[in-house]
Amino acid sequence: MEHRSHRGVAVILVLFVLLAVLAYSCAVNPVTGKSELSIVSFSEEEEVALGAKAYTPAVQQQGGFYRDRALEEYVQSVGMRVARASHRPGLNYRYRVLNSSVPNAFALPGGFIVINRGLLVHLSSEAELAAVLGHETGHVTAKHSLGGYQRALAANLLLTGISVAAGGKTGVMEVSSITTSLLENGFSRDQEREADWLGIDYMVRSGYNPEGAVRLQEYFYRQLEGGKNPMFVEGLFRTHPFSKERLDNARARIAERYPDTVRNPNYTFNETVFLQKTGPIREVQKAYDIAGEGDKRLKEKRYADALDRYREAVSRQPEQAPLHSSIGRVYLIQKDYPAAENSLRRSIQLDGEFFEPHFLMGVLRYQQRDYRGAIPELSRSMDLLPTKQGAAYLSKSYEAIGDKQNAKKYAAMAK
């Protein structure tokens, strides 16, 4: 009875402390001026480090970077033009293009911002690109993702405290699991509206016509309401909830704050420049559309048909690493190891920082019983994107060469 009494007192004390922390640990957001939950205070350096930890896995999960130096420089220049007009111009912003056909864009704490190839090809002007990048910059300047991290940390702290008070293990929250949630949790409608407004402000300050933001929202509305485009529902709209209200709010923001900018020639759309700069990626997208048909056939286990689609895509765009990796995957399934190795090696030559061909090459080596050859490829894939599958193959490879310590280490990671 005494033990239960002490436990009950401990529960009450822990909850009291945690509630006190939740009630009084707040910080003022420099953009909005609002008080926000702040279980842990982050310096700017720590905010950047948090975003960086999630950045590489997030990029790899969605196809890696799109490799086109000229396009990268163009997107970075548009992003920095907007960033310099933002509330936090001193951040080291990184604006990149991801090699994914899913129409999406995302931002991580500290200025890590990306736009997917699948969204970029649907835009029609630099002003629309500025609207996307301005919106994502608004998420960074207003610390929306950091606020989500704080809420997750608070919930974990509360659960951990209850567990300790109840006699359970303490448990430590893994930062990696939190950073993954930065992308998966998405943003609230209020945060989306705030990012829309900030993006419009940044556009105007940097000389873009804010009508570009309205045209972008109108396009999103057509995809959501007009055709219920599943690519947008599964991509952009999953983490960025959209509604007619957001479109109306954008129009109202411009009418209220910037009524004279829409017809002012000093505020640009830069349509011609944008179409010139993005022309090559529009041609590349045609090859990925064909590869998408191959992906569907692969899921249906129609391997010969999938291989035909991937080969056609490669014939159109032979410098795209993911297309060669897809061919290698099919050959690996068919156990045509020489052909699989050729395709995977070509993929790695084109983009050594893409995790998938390294993983597949490691699986190929393992299936050939070349365990020592499998380990460096699988290790490289794990450096780029830790996966349970990669850990499992590493564990079995180490076990096969008698390295029990590493076999045990990676077996634990595979669980």
Q: Which residues, in sequence order, are CB contacts of 399 under 8 Å at separation 6+?
A: 407
Question: What is the reported pTM?
Answer: 0.84
CA distance 146 to 82: 21
Q: How confident is the model at residue 160 (pLDDT cuts 50, 70, 90)?
A: very low
Residue 116 has pLDDT above 80, yes or no: yes
* More confident position, 17 or 44: 44
Question: Quick one: pLDDT at residue 146?
Answer: 75
The C-alpha torsion from 285 through 291 and 292 to 296, rounded to 10°, is: 170
Question: Quick one: pLDDT at residue 16?
Answer: 40
Residue 14 has pLDDT above 90, yes or no: no
Question: Quick one: pLDDT at residue 173?
Answer: 36
CA distance 290 to 326: 12
Question: Quick one: pLDDT at residue 165?
Answer: 42
Could you tell me which residues are beta bridge partners of residue 176? none
CA distance 367 to 369: 5
CA distance 147 to 195: 14
Question: Quick one: pLDDT at residue 273?
Answer: 97
The mean predicted confidence, pLDDT, of the chain is 84
Mean pLDDT of all residues in 170-179: 43
Residue 189 has pLDDT above 50, yes or no: yes
Residue 123 has pLDDT above 80, yes or no: yes
Mean pLDDT of all residues in 386-414: 97
Range from 190-199, 331-340, 399-408 carrying the lowest mean pLDDT:
190-199
Residue 137 has pLDDT above 90, yes or no: yes
Q: Which residues, in sequence order, are CB contacts of 207 under 8 Å at separation 6+?
A: 81, 266, 267, 268
Q: How confident is the model at residue 390 (pLDDT cuts 50, 70, 90)?
A: very high
Mean pLDDT of all residues in 134-154: 78
Residue 278 has pLDDT above 80, yes or no: yes
Q: Which of 27, 271, 15, 34 is nearest to 160 (CA)?
A: 15
Range from 198-207, 219-228, 279-288, 344-353 carrying the lowest mean pLDDT:
219-228
Mean pLDDT of all residues in 277-306: 97
